[in-house]
Amino acid sequence: MKAILFDEPCNADKLYIGEFPKPEVGEEEILVEVKAAALNRADILQRLGKYPPPLGASPVLGLEIAGTVAEVGSKVFKWKTGDKVFGLIPGGGYAQYAVIHEEMAMKIPDNLTFEQAAAIPEAFLTAYQAIVWLAELKPAEYILIHAGASGVGTAAIQLAGEIGAKIIITASAEKHFICKELGAEVLIDYKSQNFREVVMRTTNDYGVDVVIDFIGANYFNDNIESLARDGRLILLATLSGGKVKEFDVRQILSKRLKIIGSTLRSRSLEYQIKLTKDFKQFAYEKISSGKIKPVIDKVYDWKDVAQAHMRMEENKNIGKIVLKIN
């Protein structure tokens, strides 16, 4: 089969379409003819040699796919050839074919294209895990979502809105419109405003109950100071680095804070299956009705994968970047 490949850690312009062995289908897996795959920061880090795939995963980039079932494993009875599916995989999405466990695959709703479906799995499962499983967000609580216009950010805004939370986001000013459209109430331009000051002013010095953060070191102190008593900080990435120079740990005690770090790709298959099932129960009908929707920044033909990666590296995207696989 054809797949997007790279020979060693490299810049985006070294990605190319080449020949790669077609994956073999396990007993409980399905082989998907991939029609669309979405980009993630993990793809960029893996390309740069900073994020190796989990043991046993395909070395080909790509964590979320949409396509049609081409073959089913010997113990698969849930799916048949021709079914339209989408889902999260540990790697191998930038290819003509990919395998996925039958319980990780979801049926593509009739109202979604392959490109729209591919934009859902990683962003929404990551956001759902952070907001529902880890933060246990409740109605009327305040939540601060950093990188609100990112793929996970746009998913998190919608999920928090369904729960009934009060939503504050950070994003560059030119991206605020989509966050507001999705339900964010307070919009902070991280380039010109101090988010802690806006948070405390907005909440009458109460603070927020939950922070969803991807930035890491540069935001850590202000995140802690922005949290209310019994607040929860969910750390999903460290885009600004991982080392905090000075921090008074007594704030954790006095405020009774929870600081939770989490990844999804390295989780066990059993964990990911349970998360997928929980997410489907919470959101599938809302997606099917259009109440919850993936936000797509741009769709690229997969031969233009270098441009797609560069757009994400330059933080130009609003929502997800998708590759159309031919």
- Looking at the domain covering 123-261, what would its CATH class be? alpha beta
pTM of the predicted model as reported, rounded to 2 decimal places: 0.96
Q: What percent of the chain has pLDDT over 90?
A: 99
What CATH number should be reported for the domain whose range is 2-120+292-324? 3.90.180.10
pLDDT of residue 308: 98
> What does the pLDDT average to over 301-308?
98
pLDDT range class, residue 285, cuts 50, 70, 90: very high
| Domain ranges for the chain | 2-120+292-324, 123-261
122-157 per-position pLDDT tens digit: 999 999 999 999 999 999 999 999 999 999 999 999
pLDDT of residue 281: 98
pLDDT of residue 219: 98
pLDDT of residue 164: 98
Domains 2-120+292-324 and 123-261 share a fold: no
pLDDT of residue 103: 98
pLDDT range class, residue 91, cuts 50, 70, 90: very high
185-215 per-position pLDDT tens digit: 999 999 999 999 999 999 999 999 999 999 9
Can you give the three-state secondary structure of the chain, one letter per residue? CEEEECCCCCCHHHCEEEECCCCCCCCCEEEEEEEEEECCHHHHHHHCCCCCCCCCCCCCCCCEEEEEEEEECCCCCCCCCCCEEEEECCCCCCECEEEEECCCEEECCCCCCHHHHHCCHHHHHHHHHHHHHHCCCCCCCEEEECCCCCHHHHHHHHHHHHHCCEEEEEECHHHHHHHHHHCCCEEEECCCCCHHHHHHHHCCCCCEEEEEECCCHHHHHHHHHHEEEEEEEEECCCCCCCCCCCCCCHHHHHHCCEEEECCCCCCCHHHHHHHHHHHHHHHHHHHHHCCCCCCEEEEEEHHHHHHHHHHHHCCCCCCEEEEECC
pLDDT range class, residue 49, cuts 50, 70, 90: very high
> What does the pLDDT average to over 179-183?
98
